[in-house]
Amino acid sequence: MNAANAMNHVRIVEVGPRDGLQNEKQRISTETKLALIRKLAAAGLKDIEATSFVSPKWVPQMADHAEVMAGLPSGAEFPGVNYPVLTPNLKGFEAAVAAGAKEVAVFAAASEAFSRKNINCSIAESIARFEPILAAAQAAGVRVRGYISCVVGCPYEGAIAPQAVAEVAWRLRDLGCHEVSLGDTIGIGNPASVARMLEAVAARVPMAQLAGHYHDTYGLGTANVHASYQMGVRVFDSSVAGLGGCPYARGATGNVATEDIVWLLHGLGATTGVDLDALVDCGAWISAKLGRESGSRVARALLARRG
């Protein structure tokens, strides 16, 4: 890849198999999850969040995490594909590594109220909990990604100050996170508020180590991706068919659909390595499995065009 193409290449972190499915009420079989992962890899996605090593008491949908890890495609089947997993604590990290994880993610919040509601501790306490994980990860050669929730607004506190987000992002990077994903958990952001947040965060953490994770509650997920791309962000989280949401944010719809941002990014002249037609088929397949229409506007339009 030459320098010009590298500048316009966007890495998409597909979160559908974990973030997209974790709050589904109906039981989703391990076989279905693994089939989804294979279809996503076949469509060209190179970073696919596979599962979460959390207590089945809190997230029963992810109780089969070890089985999912055992069934992941081999490197020979899909070379260069990365399968990160979520690990909320050291116990989860150790279980993930024992299951073969090469990259894990930890999650904090930019809102004190959300942190206490979501993981029952303050922001400072949550980051302190990550210290042994980062130390163990460094010793084991495992990469760690950091997530930050509520980077624009919080269902309990309202608007979040950009400097508060920047502080948490800096602390995660300082601990050793190779990348920090900025999550608009309740989807309240717009291009102006997202730009203010990114400007503050980029003053503390290099843009090359930031990712955008936007929800589509008000239909502005792709607009926020566009604004972030214009500011230099080249990594975005998304979920096939717009699957997912947040159980702690009433009324929040799913993650921005992978199909929608691939359509947008290709239109902007960016490269993603993703086959949009194969991705649309994948989204239609999992939507049918779940008994619903795809949450992707682009997928619905393309499928209608096919007749």
**Residue numbers annotated as active site:** 246
CA atoms of 257 and 276, how far apart (whole Å): 12
What is the Cβ-side half-sphere exposure of residue 194, based on CA atoms within 13 angstroms?
A: 30
Q: How far is CA 256 from CA 211, 224, 242, 289, in A?
A: 13, 10, 5, 20
3-state SS class at 153: strand
| Residue-wise DSSP of 217-237 | TTS-HHHHHHHHHHTT--EEE
The token duo for 134 is 């980062």
Question: Can you state the percent helix, strand and coil of the chain, rounding each to 5?
Answer: 45, 15, 35
